[in-house]
Amino acid sequence: MSEVVVTIGDERFEARFQDDLAPRTCARFRALLPWSERIIHVRWSGEGCWIPLGDLDFELGYENATSHPRPGEFILYPGGVSETEILVAYGGVSFASKAGQLAGNPFLIITEKLDVLARIGRDVLWQGAREIGFALKAD
């Protein structure tokens, strides 16, 4: 069941919340919607893009945190040894920063068009930042 529409540039993706893995993180992100930002390519983590959020405090701890999100999965790092951030994997990721290994709460997963997501990820790597938007899906 798709609950969220994620838009990156001109592409739209169906996604769903992972309430079973991180209910507090999902609730906190759901309350932000609709929301838009820019994604840039990760520096150390592999095939992923991220949204740096500085010292934004979601008032969350870890919930089933992972360092290895699967393609299409969004994780939220709540801050600590590195800045708060959201990462989306489009391929293999080992989530890290200059401070070392990190882990983030899995809260959203794209359920379709992973090949298109991978193309966009490579485009972000070579051509720069893209607009990203999140909105609840209208029924």
DSSP symbols for 27-75: HHHHTT-SEEEEEEE-SSSEEEEEEE-TT-------SS-BSSPPTTEEE
- Helix or strand holding residue 87 (H, E): strand 85-93
Q: Domains (ranges, CATH) in the chain?
A: 4-136 (2.40.100.20)
Provide the whole-model pTM.
0.95
pLDDT, one tens digit per residue, over 104-117 is: 999 999 989 999 99
Decide if pLDDT at 1 tops 70.
no
59 torsion bin: left (phi>0), alpha (psi -120 to 50), beta (else)? left
pLDDT, one tens digit per residue, over 26-36 is: 999 999 999 99
Residue from 46, 58, 59, 128 nearest 87 by CA: 46
Which tokens in the block code for residue 96? 């890290």
